[in-house]
Chain A
């Protein structure tokens, strides 16, 4: 089955803790993205990566970090520096040279 998987589906974190959200794709896509969605809002870009070992900040990168060591994986770490981390996080991927992005099922992060 080809697609994008995100884990976990729900994540609870205490204030001051770092957490890492997983995103894996087996679509052989070169580009991967992380978005944040708040209630009643559209998606906002956190980070994106066009190729392995390279990534760029999006519109709201502060308090987040990423890595792209493998083509199929693009984990997102929400650090304690992120002031308001409770949100729905969506990962996406696309074929290099194409703008059509395909999304994973999302991870809902709640800070207790």
Chain B
């Protein structure tokens, strides 16, 4: 099956710093999502971005499907940005159109 690798595994920032998280995937994908898991375990959708660039406030994402990677940018980080960021790709093989394969995540800690 498709493999998803995220880097870095851990990241510590001071409040106000910028950061870039990366997601590499091993095969062609039709869809890609970024999630934020807060300290209580809730997963929150950030972006649905199979290709191109999107922005939402201080967050933006870019997916280059032909080169099999996606980037999540966080600008002017805040302590509330802390948590785990997951990349997940939709694998259309075998007719399971909606099966998401997750990376292991990037644990982000933003210190005041």
Contact = CB atoms under 8 A, between A and B. Distances in A.
Nearest to B89: A99
A43 B88 CA distance: 9
Contacts of A106: 41-42
Nearest to A40: B104
Interface stretch (B11-19, B63-71, B93-101): B93-101
Interface string A35-57: 10000111111001010000010
Interface string A47-84: 01010000010110000000000000000000000000
Contacts of B1: 59
A105 B39 CA distance: 11
Contacts, number: 58
Main secondary structure of the interface of A (DSSP, over half): strand
B4 to A, nearest CB: 8
Contacts of A105: 40-42
A101 B100 contact: yes
A40 to B, nearest CB: 7
Nearest to A56: B96
B48 A43 contact: no
Chain B at the A interface: SS class:
strand
A31 interface: yes
A88 B42 CA distance: 11
Contact of B98 (A50, A59, A88, A103): A50
Given A42-B86, A56-B96, A106-B42, A101 B33 contact: yes
B102 interface: yes
Given A42-B86, A42-B105, A43-B86, A99 B100 contact: yes
A94 interface: yes
A21 interface: no
Interface of A: 31, 33, 35, 40-45, 48, 50, 56, 58-59, 88, 90, 92, 94, 99-103, 105-106, 108
